[in-house]
Structure 1
Amino acid sequence: MDTIWADTFADASGPKYRAVIDRIRRGIRTGELAVGEKLPPVRELAYQLDITPGTVARAYKLLTDEGVLLAEVGRGTFVAPADRRDSEDVADSEPEFRHDVAPHNSEAGDGYHVNLFSPHLPSVGQAGLIRELLGEIAKAPPSGMMHYPSREGSRPAREAAARWLSASTVGRVRESDVVLANGGQNALCLVLQTVLRGRRPVVLVEELSYPGFRRAAELLRAEVVPVPMDAEGLIPEALEAAARQHDAQILCTSPEAHNPTLTHTPQARRQALVDVARRCDFQILEDNCYHVSEASGPGYRLLAPERSWYVTSISKSITPALRIGFALAPRERTAQLRRAAEHGFFGIATPLTDLMARLLVDPRLAALTDKVHGVIRDYVQCAVNALGGHQLVWRSDVPFLWLPLPLGWRAGAFVQAAEAEGVRVRSAEDFVQRNARAPHAVRLAINAGVSLDTFEQAMQRLCALLDSPSELIAI
């Protein structure tokens, strides 16, 4: 063991990652770790200290976020210059290696070197911007610290959100249109709470669809009915048949970037689906949490403003940590949607609304989100380079890929084989009804919390699996 690390746990009494952090800080203070010096790779230091890689990765990540360390893609982790510490000017930095901490604890030693279950955004400076704004708010919180949230107090946040949303597929958004939620999933739940009526209401979804639709519906004791799709999304005739048979009240859909197949619904098909909704008199909820680039055309809120609801969040473009989402209703029903939020949780915490009021209009944010999208494009291209010989479905502006499996692989067996290779992927079974037949396919989320080299190695391991189907599967 290198002598600098020998006493890492000598006087440690708390979590091991904290002992690693303290040892690095002490090494910098004493000069044992000089500015610009490269720290050992995560695996190497974990081996030296006899701890899990996730523990080291957590220590490196926390110090990188504070500006104490500087992580460079493909090169490693270095001691940052003194003038960069406690700031997030290290805009292009990201940890050399880390576990995806959700849903697993980074200290749990779960063995997933690359977790592709859910997207993980790169850290390109947005954390530093958030810390800076939170620091300003903490000194003089505009909404105070001793009051319940109020509609007037959150007005600046709604105004900022309206500006942020108006660049999307929904057209002009007024401050009074915006209902703030605790993330996109909460926004989805609020819409269903507002719309659904009766003892056993029916929610329509695509036959492959975001699992959160089903979970939200089940919370409200609603029945979920899947509707067949083709290469352009929902089939209008099938939608009309399902809506009439089940007396459906709402359709939940993602027309811009369908999760998980990445199907895009073109304008003519959207209009046909709107015509069905009007004939059968059901509402449309458009989930646009994953779409991160310019829209191809008007969304349902513009095509059918009298019956269209819209939800999105900052989780796929800025950070999922803040749990900030937005919901829009048909204008004559905005008051109902607002009441669902106010009666459910009184309002978003005032420090968060104060933060949103500044963050979403900060002139630096656009450049940071552009960097986020640029990094995602790099990771998507890396996956395409490795897996492009298979039936990979991808878009450069969306942080996941859809992979139909070759003959010889079933989804469950492939997921298990990938886990054995240290890569966690998501089976198509997660996106269908429990009693439905799922295609043999997997979704690969972009995890930009690991280095591009680490991600590329994971793609190569998946490619090797795809090229060698399990002998246990009958072809």
Structure 2
Amino acid sequence: MDTIWPQALPKSKGPKYTLVADTIRRAIENNTLKVGAKLPPVRELAYRLKITPGTVARAYSILTEEGLLSAEVGRGTFVAPPRTPLLDDVWSRQLHLRDDKYDANVSLFSPRLPDVGQVALIRSCLARVAQSDPALFMNYPTRDAYQGVRQAVVDWLSDLPLGALNADDVVLTHGGQSGLCVVFQTVLRGPKPVVLVEDLSYAGFRRAGELMRAEVIGVKMDEWGIDPDALDHVLRQTPAQAICVSPEVQNPTGGHTPLERRQEVVEIARRHDLQIIEDDCYRMGEARAPSYRALAPERGWHVSSISKTLTPALRVGFAIAPRDRSSDLRRSAEYGYFGLAQPLAELTRLLLTDPAARRLARDVREKMGEYVRVAVNALGGFDLNWDPEIPFVWLYLPSGWRAAAFSRAAEREGIQIRSADEFALRDGRAPNAVRIAMNGHVSLRKFEEAMLRLRTLLDNPPEQISV
């Protein structure tokens, strides 16, 4: 172990047990620690690294769960021999490598996450669910039945500045869009409520509003999100009840709303008694400012999911109300769909509490960052908004192209992208831009080929601009 840590544990962001586990894991992967090597006792390593024994014990436990270490009573902890991968595990990890050489089509409509081990973990959790108490499969869900999974969500979101939060504040939903609908059902009142959105915004805001018979009005925005003066002006003209925003990752531009701007929005919302609904589904990295729920605990609603961190297939999301509205939000969910199916809720609990889950989410983020870098290398000569922790890029088109025409030309090349028009309200104006999502289901080689085909199109606009 001296070759791994010649001195005390180096400073790093994140929990210390994660750093310990990552360091040992890398040493095993590069064969610095060989199969059968005995690790120091917990207290000895803790003393050497100047950390608590509990921190080392947790790191050892994580690696034991992963099968990298084995603990033998009375003997100690050893590097375990590599497990023979199951055929299903091998199959699942090939998801993003299955390129058909005769098929040049690449869908870049919505982000598609790579499988870095989630499939194997989900299968393992499903097997554990299958062995659960038979009552799990035969009874209506009760409020108490969700206590464990709601607490798992609180722990999963523990690094997010959400303000005071406990398990009773969390409502489980069928993905982020379902979360938006439940919040709208709780917030909106009257025969024709009004909802505000940014001029360019996630189309699901509009669709959820329409389901509630709401009028959806766009508000002018800039590179930092909602324009405060424009918001105040609209609210003086319209009795809006809520505004939908995505301050951490603005969809589709990839912009970010800094703290000062959020505080201005909160001040205006309080003046006009406006509820703030924050969609946080696209954030993959750390939050860069307090959420609206933390800044305005009396009117901040939060919606998130695991669709951009682990998998969109399970359709699991979370809606969180202001503290004095938690019972209202729970009642909307219970009246609407009783709650998640109990087997799905138990699967979610097992998944979020598994020691490997956070590492997998980090690995997904890093892998998607590789795709972003490939896109930037190919398209960086153009006006491109990007961030390695956002699973899409926003491309302003050069002279000679219009967004609709470019999208059609890309589709003829087998590449599906979204025009800015798809994010504008029906009577709104869209910039000359497109959103290009990352697709982790194809190899980096195939993805790069798609990016190069887009660059060729950008370099060769049509002689006549079509609309």
> What SS does the corresponding residue of 1:153 show, helix, strand or coil?
helix
* CA separation of 1:160 and 1:171: change in aligned 2, threshold 3 A: same
Whole-angstrom CA distance in 1 between matches of 2:90 and 2:161? 32
**In angstroms, what is the RMSD of aligned CA positions?**
1.9
* CA separation of 1:461 and 1:362: change in aligned 2, threshold 3 A: same
Question: Which amino acid in the other structure matches residue 96 of structure 2?
Answer: P
- Asked whether the 8 Å contact 2:99–2:446 carries over to 1, the reply is no
Aligned pairs (5 A) from 1:74-473: 83-88=84-89, 93-97=94-98, 113-141=105-133, 144-473=136-465
- Asked whether the 8 Å contact 1:84–1:90 carries over to 2, the reply is no
> What SS does the corresponding residue of 1:392 show, helix, strand or coil?
strand
Whole-angstrom CA distance in 2 between matches of 1:144 and 1:438? 49
Whole-angstrom CA distance in 2 between matches of 1:172 and 1:126? 30
> What SS does the corresponding residue of 1:403 show, helix, strand or coil?
strand
- Asked whether the 8 Å contact 1:260–1:402 carries over to 2, the reply is yes
Whole-angstrom CA distance in 2 between matches of 1:324 and 1:214? 21
Aligned pairs (5 A) from 1:61-76: none
Whole-angstrom CA distance in 2 between matches of 1:144 and 1:127? 23
1:354 deviates by 0.6
Question: Which amino acid in the other structure matches residue 378 of structure 2?
Answer: A
> What SS does the corresponding residue of 1:154 show, helix, strand or coil?
helix
Whole-angstrom CA distance in 2 between matches of 1:302 and 1:199? 31
Whole-angstrom CA distance in 1 between matches of 2:450 and 2:247? 30
Question: Which amino acid in the other structure matches residue 245 of structure 2?
Answer: T
- Asked whether the 8 Å contact 1:98–1:113 carries over to 2, the reply is no
* CA separation of 1:243 and 1:357: change in aligned 2, threshold 3 A: same
Question: Which amino acid in the other structure matches residue 249 of structure 1?
Answer: Q
* CA separation of 1:463 and 1:242: change in aligned 2, threshold 3 A: same
1:173 deviates by 2.2
Question: Which amino acid in the other structure matches residue 286 of structure 1?
Answer: E
Whole-angstrom CA distance in 2 between matches of 1:442 and 1:141? 50
* CA separation of 1:474 and 1:162: change in aligned 2, threshold 3 A: closer
Whole-angstrom CA distance in 2 between matches of 1:351 and 1:88? 23
> What SS does the corresponding residue of 1:312 show, helix, strand or coil?
strand
Whole-angstrom CA distance in 1 between matches of 2:364 and 2:402? 33
* CA separation of 1:174 and 1:86: change in aligned 2, threshold 3 A: farther
Whole-angstrom CA distance in 2 between matches of 1:244 and 1:143? 54
- Asked whether the 8 Å contact 1:143–1:351 carries over to 2, the reply is no
Whole-angstrom CA distance in 1 between matches of 2:180 and 2:305? 11
1:141 deviates by 4.0
1:96 deviates by 2.0
Question: Which amino acid in the other structure matches residue 243 of structure 1?
Answer: L
1:244 deviates by 2.0
* CA separation of 1:474 and 1:175: change in aligned 2, threshold 3 A: closer
* CA separation of 1:237 and 1:86: change in aligned 2, threshold 3 A: same
- Asked whether the 8 Å contact 1:93–1:124 carries over to 2, the reply is no
Whole-angstrom CA distance in 2 between matches of 1:422 and 1:446? 15
With 186-195 and 354-363 compared, the bigger mean Cα shift is at 354-363
Whole-angstrom CA distance in 1 between matches of 2:260 and 2:83? 57
1:438 deviates by 1.2
1:360 deviates by 0.6
Whole-angstrom CA distance in 1 between matches of 2:443 and 2:117? 16
Question: Which amino acid in the other structure matches residue 86 of structure 2?
Answer: R
Q: CA-to-partner distance for each residue in 1:131-175, whole Å, 9 max, x for gaps?
A: 101101101247521111111111111010111112113134211
> What SS does the corresponding residue of 1:84 show, helix, strand or coil?
coil
Whole-angstrom CA distance in 1 between matches of 2:441 and 2:225? 31
Question: Which amino acid in the other structure matches residue 134 of structure 1?
Answer: L
Residue 55 of structure 1 corresponds to none
Residue 28 of structure 1 corresponds to none
TM-score after normalising by structure 2: 0.80
Whole-angstrom CA distance in 2 between matches of 1:340 and 1:112? 45
Question: Which amino acid in the other structure matches residue 130 of structure 1?
Answer: I
TM-score after normalising by structure 1: 0.78
With 276-285 and 434-443 compared, the bigger mean Cα shift is at 434-443
Question: Which amino acid in the other structure matches residue 186 of structure 1?
Answer: S
Whole-angstrom CA distance in 2 between matches of 1:253 and 1:470? 36
Whole-angstrom CA distance in 2 between matches of 1:141 and 1:117? 41
Question: Which amino acid in the other structure matches residue 220 of structure 1?
Answer: M
Percent of residue pairs identical: 52
How many residues align? The count is 385
- Asked whether the 8 Å contact 2:163–2:297 carries over to 1, the reply is no
Whole-angstrom CA distance in 2 between matches of 1:142 and 1:336? 31
* CA separation of 1:240 and 1:112: change in aligned 2, threshold 3 A: farther
1:263 deviates by 1.2
1:84 deviates by 1.9
Question: Which amino acid in the other structure matches residue 119 of structure 1?
Answer: P
Question: Which amino acid in the other structure matches residue 98 of structure 2?
Answer: F
Question: Which amino acid in the other structure matches residue 96 of structure 1?
Answer: L
1:92 deviates by 5.9
> What SS does the corresponding residue of 2:436 show, helix, strand or coil?
strand
Aligned pairs (5 A) from 1:12-51: none
Q: Provide structure 1 residue ranges, at least 5 long, that are not aligned to the other structure.
A: 1-80, 100-108
- Asked whether the 8 Å contact 2:96–2:440 carries over to 1, the reply is no
Whole-angstrom CA distance in 1 between matches of 2:163 and 2:327? 20
- Asked whether the 8 Å contact 1:90–1:124 carries over to 2, the reply is no
1:461 deviates by 0.3
> What SS does the corresponding residue of 2:385 show, helix, strand or coil?
coil
